[in-house]
Amino acid sequence: MVRVRLAAPADVEDIVRVVMAAMPYDPQWDYRFPRRGKFAEDHYRYTKMLYEHFLDAANDDWRVLVVELTSGEEEGPTVAHQGAPPVPWCMSSVGDGNDDVQSGAQGSKIVAFSVWDVSYIKKRIHGSSYQPQNPSLYIARHGGDTRRDANPARVKASKDSAADSKRHFTKYGRYAIRLQILGTHPAHWRHGYASALCHWGMKIAAEEGLVVQVVAGKMGHKLYTHLNFKTLGEVVKQVPGEEMKVISHAMVFDPKEQARSVASYEGNKAISVAFCVQDTNYGIHEHCQRKDVLKHIGIVHSPMLQFDLRGLRI
């Protein structure tokens, strides 16, 4: 059985195992950590520290979601009912009396993870004075500044490029849910797991009147394009004077734009879909559950979301 759920601190080792297996396929990883082979101990220590930080309930600007196989048998499109994210997940804290938020079940296996920046919640409450929690700073203060697996100049170039990427998103307003990191274990690629994780954020965005922002690496770009994210522009990581550079893409998923796109797609049925999305329910009327319509708005690969959609009414 495949299950999508919020992660808990006890999941850290399993998540780091997937991180270490998946992320080296993203050129940004090698760029920042070119000596990770030689200094594997540092690489593991600081990667784990980062995920412990994300998973700490006190750091509530972040949510970590995982895809877990619970039977030992890998399945394709079926996701258990209890795996569907309760609404609104983003407003509840990890393990907060929610039956779906468990970890460490015997025989379970985490195969994909995603880290979401949900600091928009506190920005809305506290206004522009709110300083979001900063995991990089935390790692730097706890020895990360001296980690031997990283190239410090390139780590800095990566941070600078993240700041630069903001210009692409300004027209979408102050509030967004942002996908920080995403990975699927290579042994489990192309089963729709990353899509299911993305759909969680896409659903939150539709419900809360936000967009989803991501700065995509090479593989991520293919995935998000498949999910109907729009490419806004290039983000370049390059140390001044160094020839080597890594190019990523700022991308956005705007449910309202999707709604318009669907509305122009297929007459009355599509308008029903559009109305739903704009109404922030992200629901689909039963007679609109046609695969071609779903595909057009990028949700054909989310068994989880399709389940949700079937459960919703206009």
Q: Which residues bind ligand COA (CB under 6 A)?
A: 22-23, 25-26, 112, 182-184, 189-195, 216-217, 219-220, 222-223, 226, 301
| Residue 276 or 305 having the CB closest to ligand COA | 305
From CA 291, how far away is CA 289, in angstroms rounded?
6
Closest approach, Cβ 216 to ligand COA, in A, equals 5
Closest approach, Cβ 57 to ligand COA, in A, equals 25
Closest approach, Cβ 237 to ligand COA, in A, equals 13
Sign of CA dihedral 195, 200, 201, 203: positive
| Gyration radius of the chain over CA positions | 19
From CA 75, how far away is CA 92, in angstroms rounded?
29
Closest approach, Cβ 64 to ligand COA, in A, equals 15
| Residue 278 or 306 having the CB closest to ligand COA | 306
From CA 127, how far away is CA 313, in angstroms rounded?
34
Q: Which run of H or of E encompasses 44?
A: helix 40-55
What are residue 84's phi and psi, to 5 degrees? Answer: -70, 135
Residue type, 127: G
| Residue 203 or 301 having the CB closest to ligand COA | 301
Closest approach, Cβ 27 to ligand COA, in A, equals 9
Is residue 63 classed as helix, strand or coil in its secondary structure? strand
Closest approach, Cβ 264 to ligand COA, in A, equals 23
Structure tokens at 213: 């922002």
| Residue 6 or 251 having the CB closest to ligand COA | 251
Instruction: Identify the residue whose tokens are 């020839």.
Output: 243
| Residue 22 or 293 having the CB closest to ligand COA | 22
Closest approach, Cβ 126 to ligand COA, in A, equals 29
Q: Which run of H or of E encompasses 211?
A: strand 211-216
| Residue 123 or 178 having the CB closest to ligand COA | 178
| Residue 109 or 123 having the CB closest to ligand COA | 109
| Residue 181 or 274 having the CB closest to ligand COA | 181
Is the separation of the CB atoms in 222 and 189 below 8 Å? Answer: no
From CA 141, how far away is CA 107, in angstroms rounded?
36
Q: Tell me the C-alpha to C-alpha distance, in Å, between residue 49 and each of 31, 114, 165, 180, 307.
A: 20, 16, 25, 16, 35
| Residue 140 or 219 having the CB closest to ligand COA | 219
Across 76-99, b (16+ Cβ under 10 Å) vs e yields eeebbeebbbeeebbebebeeeee
Closest approach, Cβ 9 to ligand COA, in A, equals 23
Closest approach, Cβ 48 to ligand COA, in A, equals 18
64 strand-pairing partners: 115
Is the separation of the CB atoms in 210 and 121 below 8 Å? Answer: no
HSE, CB side, 13 Å, CA atoms: give it for residue 169.
25
Residue nearest to ligand COA (CB): 220
